[in-house]
Amino acid sequence: MFSSQEEFKEAYLKKLEMTSGKAFPDTTLQDRYDTLGQLIREYISMNWIQTNEQYRYQKQKQVYYLSIEFLLGRLLRQNLMNLGIYELVEEGLGDLGIDLKDMEDVEQDAALGNGGLGRLAACFLDSMASMDLPGHGYGIRYKHGLFEQKIVNGYQMELPEQWLRHGYVWEVRKPDLMMQIPFWGRIESSEKDGVTSFRHVDAEIVAAVPYDLPVVGYGTTTVNTLRLWNAEPYAYKAGRDMMKYKRDTEAITEFLYPDDTQDEGKVLRLKQQYFLVSASIRTILESYLSRHGDLTNLHEHVAIHINDTHPVLAIPEMMRVLIDEYGMDWDSAWGVTTKTFAYTNHTTLSEALERWLVRIFQPLLPRIYMIIDEINERFCRDLWDAYPGEWGRIEGMAIIAHGEVKMAHLAIAGSHSVNGVAKIHTNILKEREMNLFYQYFPGKFNSKTNGITHRRWLLNSNPPLASLIQSAIGDAWIKDPSRLSELESFTADSAFLENLHKAKQLNKKRLADRILQTNGIVVDPDSIFDIQIKRLHAYKRQLLNILHILHLFNRCQENPDADIPSRTFIFGAKASPGYYYAKKIIKLIHSVADLVNDHPAVKGRIKVVFLENYRVSLAEEIIPAADVSQQISTASKEASGTGNMKFMMNGALTLGTLDGANIEIQEQVGDENIFIFGLRAEEVMKQQQDGSYYSMEYYHHDERIKKMLDQLIDGSLPDAGDHFETIYDSLLAENDEFFVLRDFDSYAKAHERVASAYRDQESWLRMSLINIARSGYFSSDRTIAEYAREIWRIGGVGLR
Ligand SMILES: *Cc1c(COP(=O)(O)O)cnc(C)c1O
């Protein structure tokens, strides 16, 4: 459409004036952004239509990725880069005196997710489209995404996020594709010719209205779809409170639950889940039937992936539609359903495994409950045949037991594949949490190491490094990330290493400027940028990091002339609003920062910075500037991590435990290019089991630990009040559930190895380059290729 800059400029100016109703000089940044977005979306539309037509006529197997979260971030830059028109647009706008960077900053992040699970879904969409795979997302259009975090006096405040305030240029509302979703009511059964059929009566109907977002592949004409459902009132019923109905309906897609590791036990959450899957499954089946006549072969043409247990009701919903609406018998329906679905498990934290009380579930979703009950009966009967008399085992595997519906059990029984996201996590599932299921269904379990899209996390967010790579090995790596390995031939090239250093310093300088602007803290770009950004959670152990900083401060005080290298510690983290302990840790980070940052004994060698409102677009600014990537979860607790991969790809060295994908990073780069410390997963799990860890011993036998813990409660810390007693107690009275004190010594030693390695710049840069060169494995293109071949069994196009 835009074959030249001139053409683009003309189209843009015309559209800008038409849509804003203003002369060009009077238009605001928002007007200019909106017009740009609309123009690009229209440009995308042609390929979007064509892709859909192609899918329809070629009858390719389609993949649907169901996820309660899609953490998309911003789309303008990604779309322009993927379309290959970034420079054309940049120059065209430049002629008009508009800076494309300013346009990018107008865009609000679409923060429809909490963290890694939602970001994984977004990375997968990019990879599927870029690899020409017919893969689409289904999610929820939350009116308010994850809350906006403000820090006031070191405390987290939560503001409602407002990504839709100025409208959203990338979406297309499709009211004609609305679905009706029933809640509450009763089930009536009737019999005809010996067949029982069921009717859901007296239900409260909610309208699910789709908003479609185009998912543009890189360097291809493929445009897939992310469909986000919005809840709206459908029909008022006489005798009901209209306002209440409206409120209850709209509440379904009002807020994202600000936590993905805890089940709030709320009816609303269950409503969200059924709302998502019911609208999606019925749409998928309708679309399938418009392409193919026969439902018995559904699994040959459709693969549905459920991202963790939140969308697992898709399984009984599919059964319901096949049986109640299309008249299929139970056994055929179950055969088709289990062959269509695949499931990914993202956690072993047993408190995070979703369970619903039957007394909440049954009234809200009466027909779905009946179906799950039947699935459970049949499943338990099969188990009884396999394990006669073993009541305990069957009870441990039942889908409904002790008045609860167990979502993970339903997911495993109802799908053909269970993916554990990293090797270690898959093994823990097989040997522990899901061991009984593994014994019964050994063939279902598999591991597909997570990945990130290198296009967003390297090409788009780190231009200095991307252009250095391009100058060295060309741009084949953008389509085929395994080719980043060609960078290995530069490890002895000191001119290249010098350029790598320059690129990193440019990024550090940029981040230092931002820190000065937003936090008013001066940081030295020549110091080690040591970064921990991720959700705040006890198992991720931000506490270990901040306690160690306090320890470094103590060392400076004891010996002001100690030869300590200059370090900037950067944090970014949101704490779930109800997570009291996590909020205390945010306060502690600020309190230590206040103590350390301008203290004369420190002489500027340690700076502590907390960047507020951590989100995708902030991560994109921070990660390119990192020297050290802190991935320090208690071993066995982090299913995978993907932040670790983003840092590695940007040349940061990992300081981490042998947990999640850190292990696979270590396998790729070798022991000499990573800093590993701490207990291993087996050791943690063993000590948890046999109760052999006493944190109090570490307090009494390690003076460093005693000193810093005492500082938490003796008034040494600014504005401490009694805030840190909870933390103190968790470490001592409650025996330090996450092994912070246990790993402290090993962690401090690893920091010393980091500090001394950094002194040899040439060797550091070589390590950094090896990390970049071996990061191709962690591209989500590789992950998606594995899913496509081994789970979804979709063919050829774009697959390497
Ligand atoms: C990648 C990412 C995450 C996941 O980070 P982990 O370190 O793996 O927990 C969370 N939030 C955002 C905004 C991300 O970009």
Q: What is the CATH number of the domain that holds 136?
A: 3.40.50.2000
Do 511 and 393 lie in a common domain? no
Ligand 1 atom closest to the Cα of residue 618 is: 13
- What residues pair up with 135 in beta bridges, in sequence order? 63
Sequence-ordered list of residues with C-beta below 8 angstroms from that of 15, at least 6 positions apart, any chain: 35, 38, 39
Question: Ligand 1, residues 456, 534, 574: which to mutate, most atoms within 8 A of Cβ?
Answer: 534
Nearest protein CA to atom 5 of ligand 1, as residue: 643
Per DSSP (E only), the strands in 128-262 are 135-140, 148-152, 155-159, 172-173, 179-183, 186-192, 195-201, 204-216, 223-233
pLDDT given for residue 349 in this prediction: 75
pLDDT given for residue 263 in this prediction: 61
Nearest protein CA to atom 7 of ligand 1, as residue: 643
| Alpha helix positions (H), 406-541 | 407-413, 423-428, 435-440, 454, 463-473, 476-479, 494-519
pLDDT given for residue 236 in this prediction: 78
Do 202 and 348 lie in a common domain? yes
Distance CA 619, CA 605 (A): 24
Backbone angle region of 632, left / alpha / beta, with phi > 0 → left and psi within -120 to 50 → alpha: alpha
Do 377 and 519 lie in a common domain? no
pLDDT given for residue 265 in this prediction: 65
Q: Give 605 Cα–ligand 1 centroid separation in angstroms.
A: 28
Do 446 and 458 lie in a common domain? no
Sequence-ordered list of residues with C-beta below 8 angstroms from that of 269, at least 6 positions apart, any chain: 257, 263
Nearest protein CA to atom 6 of ligand 1, as residue: 643
Residue 96 lies in a domain: no
- Among 130, 201, 251, 185, which residue's Cα sits nearest to residue 782? 130
pLDDT given for residue 799 in this prediction: 46
Which of 425, 450, 475 terminates a domain? The answer is 450
Residue 784 lies in a domain: no
Do 399 and 474 lie in a common domain? no
Residue 678 lies in a domain: yes
Residue 291 lies in a domain: yes
Residue 768 lies in a domain: yes
Distance CA 622, CA 514 (A): 10
Which of 450, 484, 506 terminates a domain? The answer is 450
Ligand 1 atom closest to the Cα of residue 631 is: 7
DSSP assigned state of 540: G
Do 238 and 252 lie in a common domain? yes
* Four-residue CA torsion sign, 690, 696, 699, 702: negative
Residue 724, φ and ψ in degrees, nearest 5: -95, 5
Structural domain span for residue 337: 59-74+109-450
Residue 181, φ and ψ in degrees, nearest 5: -115, 120
Distance CA 569, CA 531 (A): 6
Question: Ligand 1, residues 114, 642, 646, 657: which to mutate, most atoms within 8 A of Cβ?
Answer: 642
The pTM (predicted TM-score) of the whole model is: 0.98
Do 363 and 380 lie in a common domain? yes
Q: Give 119 Cα–ligand 1 centroid separation in angstroms.
A: 7
Distance CA 763, CA 445 (A): 41
Residue 381 lies in a domain: yes
As a whole number of Å, the CA-based R_g of the chain is 27
Residue 789: CB atoms within 10 A of its CB come to: 12
Q: Residue 407 in 3-state DSSP?
A: helix
Beta pairing, strands 418-419 & 445-446: parallel
Q: Do residues 71 and 121 touch, judged by C-beta distance below 8 A?
A: yes
447-490 pLDDT, tens digit per residue, is 999 999 999 999 999 999 999 999 999 999 999 999 999 999 99
> Can you list the residues of the chain whose pLDDT is less than 70?
1, 260-265, 351, 796-800
Do 228 and 373 lie in a common domain? yes
Q: Give 233 Cα–ligand 1 centroid separation in angstroms.
A: 35
Give ligand 1 pocket residues (Cβ under 6 A). Answer: 115-116, 119, 534, 615-616, 619, 641-643, 646
Ligand 1 atom closest to the Cα of residue 645 is: 8
Taking CA 203 as the corner, what is the angle to CA 202 and CA 209, rounded to the nearest 5 degrees?
145
Do 414 and 267 lie in a common domain? yes
Nearest protein CA to atom 11 of ligand 1, as residue: 115
* Four-residue CA torsion sign, 334, 339, 341, 347: positive
Do 241 and 299 lie in a common domain? yes
Residue 50 lies in a domain: no
- Among 24, 20, 73, which residue's Cα sits nearest to residue 613? 73
Q: Do residues 228 and 275 touch, judged by C-beta distance below 8 A?
A: no
Do 385 and 488 lie in a common domain? no
Which of 424, 450, 476 terminates a domain? The answer is 450
SS3 helix, strand, coil % of the chain, rounded to 5?
Answer: 55, 15, 30
pLDDT given for residue 798 in this prediction: 46
Q: Do residues 308 and 276 touch, judged by C-beta distance below 8 A?
A: no
Burial 33-62 (b: 16+ CB within 10 A, else e): bbbbbbbbbebbeebbeebeeebeeeebbb
Q: Residue 93 in 3-state DSSP?
A: helix
Q: Give 644 Cα–ligand 1 centroid separation in angstroms.
A: 9
- Among 595, 588, 587, 712, which residue's Cα sits nearest to residue 154? 587
Q: Give 114 Cα–ligand 1 centroid separation in angstroms.
A: 9
Tokens standing for 561? 């002339």
Do 353 and 385 lie in a common domain? yes
156-177 pLDDT, tens digit per residue, is 999 999 999 999 999 999 999 9
Please tell me the total count of domains within the chain. 2
Q: Do residues 214 and 227 touch, judged by C-beta distance below 8 A?
A: no
Q: Give 535 Cα–ligand 1 centroid separation in angstroms.
A: 7
Residue 87 lies in a domain: no
Catalytic residue set = 346, 534-535, 540, 642, 646
